[in-house]
């Protein structure tokens, strides 16, 4: 099955639409992403009202966005693994565990950044 690749502005618009569809899908179907989105929305609002330097504010905001990015990548990994097979396999477990580990490290990093800046 072949299809003609979009080029130029049509490709950009299609890419943006696909990305927005993925974002909406994650919000509607993934509890972990939805919870992180709500928590990070609150943290972002707080970050704008804190009396911190611009670079500190940048670290606070960046860490919030990174949490969401890593959660989306982790969800994508889990989705692909499940698409291949729902059968329990050591490599499937490893892929999912590594994605979860990446998320855990990002959560810890975010907590450390916020604590260092606020304390």
Q: What are the CA-CA distances from residue 26 to residues 16, 35, 83 (Å)?
A: 15, 11, 16
The number of beta carbons lying within 10 Å of the beta carbon of residue 64 is 23
Q: Which residues are catalytic?
A: 71
């Amino acid at each position: 099955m072949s299809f003609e690749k979009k080029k130029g502005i049509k490709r950009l618009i299609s890419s943006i639409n696909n990305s927005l569809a993925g974002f909406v899908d994650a919000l509607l179907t993934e509890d972990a992403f939805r919870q992180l989105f709500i928590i990070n929305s609150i943290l972002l609002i707080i970050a704008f009202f804190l009396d911190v330097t611009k670079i500190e504010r940048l670290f606070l905001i960046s860490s919030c966005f990174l949490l969401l990015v890593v959660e989306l990548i982790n969800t994508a990994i889990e989705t692909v693994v499940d698409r291949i097979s729902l059968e329990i396999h050591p490599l499937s477990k490893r892929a999912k565990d590594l994605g979860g580990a990446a998320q855990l490290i990002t959560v810890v990093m975010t907590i450390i950044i916020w604590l260092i800046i606020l304390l």
